[in-house]
Amino acid sequence: MQKKSRIDLPTLFASLWLCLMLLIAAAAPLIAPHDITAMDLRDRLSPPFGFGGTTVHLFGSDDLGRDVASRLYYSIRTSLLIAFGATVISVVVGTAIGFLAAYFRGLVEHFLLLLIDVQASLPFLIVALAMLAFFGNSLPLFVGLMGLYGWERNARLARGLALAAGAQGYAGATRQLGAHPLRIYLRHILPNSAATLLVAATVTFPEIILVESGLSFLGLGVQPPMTSLGVMVGTGREYITRAPWMLLSPSIVIVLTAVAVSVVGDFLRDKLDPTLK
């Protein structure tokens, strides 16, 4: 019965890619050949190596002659930090609120649902703009703000899952055994909902990267001299015909990472479910 689960090819590539990204994020200062702010105005917009460029700038250089490769490594670091941090916050906050709503019912539930509806009816970009305008910008604040992205979906999902679990026997059976509600929620309902929440998180993750890119593009996200994938796409946009590598390299990283996260998420969901073994 215990069939050995094999990793299929897409999952293998996806996890290798994610490992590579994590490695780059961790080792960015060590592997970056240039300082990310070092300009070389005589060597502006030089193409990547293999496309007529030199090995000095492996992925080419940007409009100020800064090394795209170095900036890319640091951008991956910033963006991954923001996206992972924010996804974790979004899922944890959403799940907690959803479970609270499902547990308390009555007035508390109505209040939390109202909160969810308010968040769902406000465009997130507007909220983010207002918050950033009020509180200024710093990385921890920005991560926290991004964490607000999508919590209402996760909260709705978690509440629905908790209600469904309550209607199924095992939650009631555990209550009947005399378990504290905390135990029921953390040891039974959470593991049973984890698969769905995990998939929701893998959807939230690339969206947060995109929102971060959007805000950075508007100049309200990551502030220079720091750089992120969004900042790079934003500045690269102006040079898309003359120097497409400025835009393409961060874009490819965004797309591949988003796909890799959802592939690995799917794999983990199946892996976490003992009934699918």
Partner 1 sequence: MTLLQLEKVSRRYPIGNPVFGLRSFLTAVDQVSLEVRKGETTGVVGESGCGKSTTGRLALGLEQADSGHVLFEDKQLAAADTREWRAKRQRMQLVYQDTLAALDRRMTIGDLIAEPLVIHDIGDRASRQQRVLDLLYAVGLSEHHRALYPHQLSGGQRQRVVLARALAPSPSLLVCDEPVSALDVSVQAQIVNLLVDLQQELGLGILFISHDLRVVRHVSDRIVVMYLGQVVEHGRADTVIDQPMHPYTQALVSAMPKLPGGFDHYLPLPGEPPSPTERPSGCPFHPRCHLAKDICRQTQPELLPLGPERRVSCHLVSNP
Which residues of this protein are in contact with partner 1, per CB under 8 A? 1, 168-170, 172-181, 183, 188, 191-192, 273-275
> Measured from the CB of residue 175, what is the shortest distance to partner 1 in angstroms?
8
Cβ contact 209:79 at 8 Å: yes
> Measured from the CB of residue 179, what is the shortest distance to partner 1 in angstroms?
5
Q: Cβ atoms within 10 A of the Cβ of 113, count?
A: 17
Residue 121 or 275 with smaller CB distance to partner 1: 275
Q: Which residues touch 88 (CB under 8 Å, ≥6 apart)?
A: 147
> Measured from the CB of residue 196, what is the shortest distance to partner 1 in angstroms?
13
Cβ contact 58:33 at 8 Å: yes
Residue 108 or 141 with smaller CB distance to partner 1: 108
> Measured from the CB of residue 108, what is the shortest distance to partner 1 in angstroms?
15
> Measured from the CB of residue 172, what is the shortest distance to partner 1 in angstroms?
8
Report the Cα–Cα distance between both ends of the chain, in Å, rounded.
8
Cβ contact 212:84 at 8 Å: no
75: buried, middle or exposed (CB in 10 Å: 19+, 13-18, 0-12)? buried
Residue 1 or 107 with smaller CB distance to partner 1: 1
> Measured from the CB of residue 154, what is the shortest distance to partner 1 in angstroms?
20
Assign 219 to helix, strand or coil.
Answer: coil
Cβ contact 204:91 at 8 Å: yes
- Written as six digits, the tokens of 126 are 């507007």
Cβ contact 26:75 at 8 Å: no
Residue 135 or 170 with smaller CB distance to partner 1: 170
Residue 44 or 183 with smaller CB distance to partner 1: 183
What is the rounded CA–CA span in Å between residue 53 and residue 268?
41
